[in-house]
Structures are given as structure tokens and as C-alpha cells.
Structure 1
């Protein structure tokens, strides 16, 4: 009876009109409502939602990973240039490719490890300073840069550590200032 179509003669009688059975009648939910997800991050605990910065572990992973990746890419580029410069006139194409790949891999690993360690030191020192001072401001970053430079070059002597610390503090200060200027003047 549900599959009956109304006749033209019985179309005028509202009692005899039937409609086709639709098994999907109650499932017609608009797709935009089905996948309407919140844009803000979701947190399990209220304490996590109140936090305005990454945790020390997230910071450590982020800075170390970004440093290693940037160092590996930069080192591979420098190794590529060194490999191309070391070409000799009698080299075959296979030997030239081998030189480029070897020098790129060697320099990429070395630079990646160095800059990854710098990122690890910076993240650890910055997280420690934030925990001790219980505030998050620009001076934490500058002090972490100063400490990172000094600690990274500490094995070469006091003078080298002092110079590297000053350079690290200045570099981080410039980076933080540039970041704040970009936030203020560049609409993103």
C-alpha cells in the first residue's frame, strides 16, 4: 500500500492519497551540520585551556625539531654548493652525483645536529626561566638566548662563551622584536 501511486481519478480525494515510502526520511541531515566542528582547540582539563603557552615538553620538541630540520636543509644546501665546487674536469656524471650527495648528506647531518642542539638548549633554558619567574615575557626569551649561546660555547673558554652569549641574546632580542612588529603592522 505504501508503494501505490495515486490515480488521477482518486487524486481529488485527500483520504486516498498515499506517498512513496522513503527509508532515508529521518536521515536527511544537512552535511554542514553533520561536520560542524568548533574552530577553537578543545581541552580535556580547564587548567590546560587557561594556559597561554606550550608546555616545556612541547617547547622542547618544537624547537629541537625545527632547529634540526632547518639545519639539515641549510647544511644540505651548503653541501650541494661544496659538492659542485669540488668537481674535477675528468669526473663522470655518476661520480659528480656521488660527490654532491655525499657532501650534502655530510653537511646536512652536521648542521642539523648543531642547530638541533641549540634549539634543545634554548627550549630547556627558556622553560626553566619561565618556571622560576612564573611569568612569560620578552626577557625570558632574551635570557634564554644569552644562556644558550654561553652554554653552547662554554667548552671553548670563558671569552668565547661570553661572546656567544651576547650574540645569542642579541639574536633572540631582534627575533622577538621583529615578531612583535610583524604582529602589530602586518595584518595576517
Structure 2
């Protein structure tokens, strides 16, 4: 049974027991409808008005985001590749300790190597895209595709002009496909 002092009922009974004085109830004046507590706004809330106008991340946030996502994706892909290679190279006479050591070494080495490469690609892409947005003063698909072209070309520039051109074309095509896929998803998939 509920305490009569907290819900406001039974005040007369309680006054008789406490000598006619009404006890303090901190929740008496608090009449908040539950809807105001649970119907939260769905639009984003901003601390400053300038933040609501900007529709994209800043260049620093962009750099951090693409580099982090690239490294994490590359590290997971490299670790899974290292796991596959380590499991393939097991020999019949290996103990469990040697097998575990081989798996950990291979996953760590391949994960770090591929993670660093993909993280650098993300860093180059974010820097080029942010630079193009600042230079052109527009944010459209052209910036993304040109940044993909430039990223591939710069990443493979040390291997010669032919490798740089091929990698640039592949980078531009990949980013173009990603931008087109994002537009298709935005148009046909209600989110």
C-alpha cells in the first residue's frame, strides 16, 4: 500500500495521527504531465544558431571522421585476412600455444598494415574534399569525386604516373558510385 504522505490521499487520516499538522510533501505542487517528459523532439538541437545553418562537418571533424573510419575498417579487414592466413599455415605438430601465437601475430601485423593504409587514404580524401569545399565555396558531388580522383593519384604517386592515373580513376569511380548510391538510397529508402 502506498504511503499516504507521498500521494496526497489520506491527509485527514494523517492529520489526526500527527496532531493536526500537515506534513511537507515535496511532490504536491509538481503536476507534470508525462507526455512532456517522454515526447522528445526529433530534430537536432543546437547550442548556437550558427550550428543550425551549417549542413556539414567542419574540416577537422571531417579529417577525424574519415581517418578513424578508414583505420578501423582497414584494421578489421586486415585482422580477418591475417586470421585466414594464420589458420591456413598451421602445421599438424603445432601446439595450441604456437597456433594462438601465430594467429595473434598475423592478425596484429596484417591489421596494423592495412589499417594504416586505409587510414592514410581517408586522411588524404578528407583533406582534399575539405580543401575543395573551401576553394569552390560549394558543397556538391563534384568535390567528392575530384577528391576521390586526387586521393588515388596522390596515394600511388610514388609508383609512377601510370599507377597514379589508374589509382586516381579507380578512386574517382568508387567515390562517384558511393555518391550515386547515397542519392538513390536517400530518394527511395525512407529513413
Band the TM-score falls in, shorter-chain normalisation:
0.7 to 0.9
**Given the two structures, how large is their TM-score scaled by the length of structure 2?**
0.84
Aligned partner of 1:54 in structure 2 is: 57
The one-character-per-residue Cα deviations of 1:24-55 (angstroms, maximum 9, x if unpaired) are 21134345434654332222332221111111
Which runs of structure 2 are paired with 1:1-188 in the superposition (5 Å)?
4-5=12-13, 21=23, 23=25, 24-34=27-37, 37-188=40-191
Q: Residues of 1 paired with 2:111 and 2:11: CA distance?
A: 72
State the alpha-carbon separation in 1 of the partners of residues 76 and 149 from structure 2: 25
C-alpha distance in structure 2 between counterparts of 1:102 and 1:32, whole Å: 55
The unaligned stretches of length 5 or more in structure 1 are 7-17
Please, which runs of 5 or more residues in structure 2 have no aligned partner?
1-9, 15-19
Q: Does the 8 A contact of 1:149 with 1:168 survive in 2? A: yes
Max radius of gyration: which structure?
1
Q: Distance in 2 between matches of 1:157 and 1:175?
A: 27
Decide whether the 8 Å contact of 1:4 with 1:19 is kept in 2: no
Q: Give the secondary-structure state (helix, strand or coil) at the position aligned to 2:29.
A: helix
Q: Would you say the 8 A contact 1:71–1:113 is kept in 2? A: yes
Measured in 1, the distance between the counterparts of 2:60 and 2:78 equals 26
CA distance in 2, matches of 1:31, 1:142: 49
| TM-score, length basis structure 1 | 0.85
**Conserved in 2, the CA contact under 8 Å of 1:3 and 1:19?**
no
Deviation for aligned residue 1:185:
1.8
CA offset digits 1:92-114 (Å, max 9, x no partner)? 11111111111011101111110
How many pairs are equivalent? 176
Kept in 2: contact 1:74–1:108 (CA 8 A): yes
CA shift in 2, pair 1:171/1:4, >3 Å = closer
* Closer/same/farther in 2, CA of residues 36 and 187 from structure 1, 3 Å limit: closer
